[in-house]
Amino acid sequence: MQRIFLDNAATTPIDPDVLFAMTEVMRETYGNPSSIHAEGRKARSLIEAARKTVANTLNCSIGEIFFTSGGTEANNMALKNAVRDLGVKRIISSPLEHHCVLHSLEAIAATGAACVEMVGIDEKGHVDLTDLRRRLGEKDVPTLVSLMHSNNEIGNLLPLQEVADLCAEYQVLFHCDTVQTMGYFPIDLERTPVGFLSGSAHKFYGPKGVGFVYINNDNQIKPYLDGGAQERNMRGGTENVYGIVGLAKALEKAVAEREERRARMEDVKQYLMDRLRATYPDVRFNGDPERSHYKVLSVSFPESPKGDLLLMNLDLSGISASGGSACSSGIDVGSHVVGHLHPDSKRHTIRFSFSHHNTREQMDYVVDKLAGML
């Protein structure tokens, strides 16, 4: 059997149609998009067409979309510029956020420019909205709420509309990391009031090294990267034209095929859960699989002598999975999310994350191979 890739929360394989669109740009459209001659204008037109694709997907203005190097830059831009340029003095977030948000918050707190508070988390890993409301009501200072749409470790989904409405009620800014959900769930920014939102192409079968940030027109911030006038003076540096084209193509295709892809992933995820429950009665699913992203399943197995080698043995058997986030210099350091929810647990955790390319037959192979590893 060919290798089975079950680490799609870390990255996804590039779609062949996306690769074709990108290589065509690399061959034919080599002009600098800041140049005024024909080659430059052609490159510029591709960027603006891509911007329109993203804006149409989110139902927002094209002037509110700015291309970045990925989700990390987008999240950094939103958080740090909100403090620097919009007078934010308090940020309410959660201890289960992606490290690019948590480390940004640590950097902000270290400067003393804003204080950081962590909202309560329930036993299943969901944000305690009662605690969030309490925190919003107890202080009258410029505040930003930063909460991710879907947790990248356990998949739990934030009730996006409810949180957005709550932030609007208290007239505070709302930043949402939608890196894991972009292209997988519909988001309508005309209906859902969000101040800042981030996306990254390689999470929805596009290229690595390109993403975007949505910045609501009401939030007038200064450039994050100083340089030229690119991205309407918001981000200096020559644009990654073929990457941006790839992002737009990948997003367009993800939206067009969303329901078909979702059905496949939901089926594979449920099938793996059923097989694991039947084969390993002591298995535990972290978070809340009933209110989670259909592409993520965090599984904890009972402590065993072989457990520390579980990831390596899966890899040797041709199965790619992870124990946690893959954003720590290529080192799998385990899940800070599962560690927060189960601090005293000695169980061995594996995050399986799916694509529409995965099959039930592959899940049978995974379950069978696990038998000799536990």
Domain spans of the chain?
4-12+257-370, 16-256
The pLDDT score that the predictor gives to residue 329 is 41
Residues 198 and 76 sit within 8 Å (Cβ to Cβ): no
Q: Which residue has the higher pLDDT, 72 or 229?
A: 72
Fold match flag (4-12+257-370 vs 16-256): no
Q: What is the pLDDT of residues 47-78, one digit of tens each?
A: 999 999 999 999 999 999 999 999 999 999 99
Q: How many CA atoms lie within 13 A of 210 on its CB side?
A: 27
- Can you tell me which residue has the tokens 């027109």? 217
* C-alpha closest to that of 159 among 135, 123, 185, 138: 185
Q: Minimal CA–CA distance to 173: which of 85, 240, 268, 257?
A: 85
Does residue 192 contact residue 163 with C-beta atoms inside 8 Å? no
- Rounded percentage of the chain residues whose pLDDT exceeds 90: 87
Catalytic choice (60, 100, 115, 327): 327
* Region 16-256: CATH code: 3.40.640.10
Q: Are 68 and 213 in contact (CB under 8 A)?
A: yes
Return mean pLDDT, the chain.
94
Per-residue pLDDT tens digits for 263-288: 999 999 999 999 999 999 999 999 99
> Does position 332 have pLDDT exceeding 80, yes or no?
no
- What pLDDT, on a 0 to 100 scale, did the predictor assign at position 300? 94
pLDDT exceeds cutoff 50 at 328:
no
Query: Over 60: is that where the pLDDT of 347 sits?
Result: yes
CA separation (Å) from 224 to 33, 86, 228, 349? 20, 13, 12, 37
Provide the pLDDT confidence category of residue 327 given band limits of 50, 70 and 90: low
pLDDT at 9 exceeding the cut of 80: yes
The pLDDT value recorded for residue 325 is 54
- CATH homologous superfamily for 4-12+257-370? Aspartate Aminotransferase, domain 1 (3.90.1150.10)
pLDDT reading at 331 higher than 70: no
Q: Is 100 a catalytic residue?
A: no
Average pLDDT over residues 170-191: 98
What pLDDT was estimated at residue 374?
79
- Give the pLDDT confidence score for residue 308 in this predicted structure: 82
Residue identified by tokens 């720590």 is 328
Of 64-68, 164-168, 328-332, the poorest mean pLDDT is in: 328-332
Cβ-in-10-Å burial (0-12, 13-18, 19+) of 153 comes to buried
Considering the entire predicted model, what is its pTM?
Answer: 0.94
Can you tell me the distance from the alpha carbon of 149 to that of 103, in angstroms, rounded to the nearest whole number?
A: 18
User: pLDDT value at position 180?
Assistant: 98
Please say if the pLDDT value at position 15 is more than 70. yes
Please state the rounded mean pLDDT for residues 208-213: 98
